[in-house]
Each structure stands twice: as C-alpha cells, then as structure tokens.
Homo-oligomer: A and B are copies of this chain.
Amino acid sequence: MTAVEPSQSRLVQLDRAQALVPLAKAPFGRVVFSHQALPAIRPVNHLVEAGGDVVIRTHTGMALLCRAALSEVVAYEADDLDPGTRTGWSVVVTGTASLVSDPVELARYQAALTPWGEGDMEHLVRIRADLVTGDRLVRGSTGS
C-alpha cells in the first residue's frame, strides 16, 4: 500500500487516443524546439488533425522556428492544471515539423487559426504526431 498525503494527487498515463481528446479542445499550447543549440519554447494556438498532427500558425517572433526547426523534431505541449485541486492533464506531441505549402490546406488552416497577435503570419507549420504522450493528475489513493 502506498500512502498518499491528502494534498497529493496521482498521475495516470493517457494512451494516444485519450491524450488527443483534451489536446484538440485546448485553446493553445507551446511549441518546443532548438534555437542556436538552446532549448526554446513559445506559446501559440493550434488545431489538431484527425490523425493527431498539430498545425500551428507562426507570427513574427516565430520566424526562428521556421528557419531553425523545420525538418527537425519538435515537441508541442498543452496542459490544463488546477493548482487549487492539483488535478488536470498535460499532453505532449513529438514529431517532425514541416511548412504547410499546399494552397488548399493553407487556406483552410488560415481560416481556422486566428493569430492572437499582430504581425507577419505567413507560415503554417505542421508537427507530425510521431509520439503522443499524456498524463492526468487525479485525486485520491492508488486504484487499479
């Protein structure tokens, strides 16, 4: 028996299908990539394709992603954690980033993804969902 302090929660792993559900509903997330050999992270909004691929629209400050991380493996994270109840979820999609260039796809994604900030928003980036992991923090002691 594992004792769990009343203030603590436990992590339940989500499988790929379970993890994609909250990710698709999340209003935004964070793209994680390397820039000049340093870890970099930036919040953006996204949409999730049926297969789990994540599409993000880059703004001025994200030009570095376009230059540095295309054809590189990046991670995309979203979460919704409640510090009060210590419950919630987090999901990470890891895979290769590529520029969306197909005009039909571009138009569809541009219509679906309104950028939050002003600026040059020319680039749409698809992150292939090679690996999808997720956790849910739930209250209570360990059950099966």
Other-chain contact of A75, B10, B39, B59, B74 (Cβ < 8 Å): B39
Find chain B residues with CB under 8 A from A61 CB.
Answer: 11, 135
Q: How large is the interface on A (under 10, 10 to 19, 20 to 34, 35 or more residues)?
A: 35 or more
Contacts of A81 in B (CB 8 A): 28, 43, 116
From B27, B38, B45, B79, contact of A43 by CB (8 A) = B79
| B8 adjacent to A116 (CB under 8 Å) | yes
Q: Which of A69-93 contact B (CB under 8 A)?
A: 73-75, 77, 79, 81, 83, 86, 90, 92
Smallest Cβ distance from A68 to chain B, in angstroms? Answer: 12
A39-B118 CB under 8 A given contacts A11-B61, A27-B83, A83-B27: no
